[in-house]
Amino acid sequence: MDRKKSLSAFDWAYTLVFTFNAIALLMAGIGYSVERLLGRAYLKIDAREITLKPGILKKERSLEWEQLNGLDYKPNCYEFLLKNGERVKLNLYKLRFEEIQELKRVIKILATQNNIALRGD
């Protein structure tokens, strides 16, 4: 009995998922970072603006200090209150304790310099 059976859509999807996973693991094993190909998550703060990219697949967002009406700090989260009424959240749960403390220190200094109300710690 020589019956040829074609692959179903599930089989193709299953094969593709495992193939991409194998390629990602091989790349990581030889030193190539998948993050480098897709982009990085980052946070940059300077005297003019705050630039954040919360995830490798998320879009970059820049907030000028002049746009801010206030800042709320809640445990592991900053909420930026913009003058147009919009709220932008910055989750800090992936950062180490020392990094959170440094970030809070820098934001407190720059918020004070720019006369922005800071509520919370």
CATH number for the domain formed by residue range(s) 40-119: 2.30.29.30
- For the entire predicted model, the pTM comes to 0.64
Whether residue 61 is predicted with pLDDT greater than 70 in this model: the reply is: yes
Q: Where are the domains of the chain?
A: 8-38, 40-119
Give the whole-angstrom CA distance, residue 50 versus residue 73: 15
Cα atoms in the 13 Å half-sphere on the side-chain side of 57: 1
Q: Based on C-alpha coordinates, what's the Rg of the chain? A: 22
pLDDT tier, 82 (very low <50, low <70, confident <90, very high otherwise) = very high
pLDDT in tens, 29-57: 898 877 677 777 788 888 899 898 877 77
Please measure the distance between the N-terminal and C-terminal CA atoms of the chain and give it in whole angstroms: 75
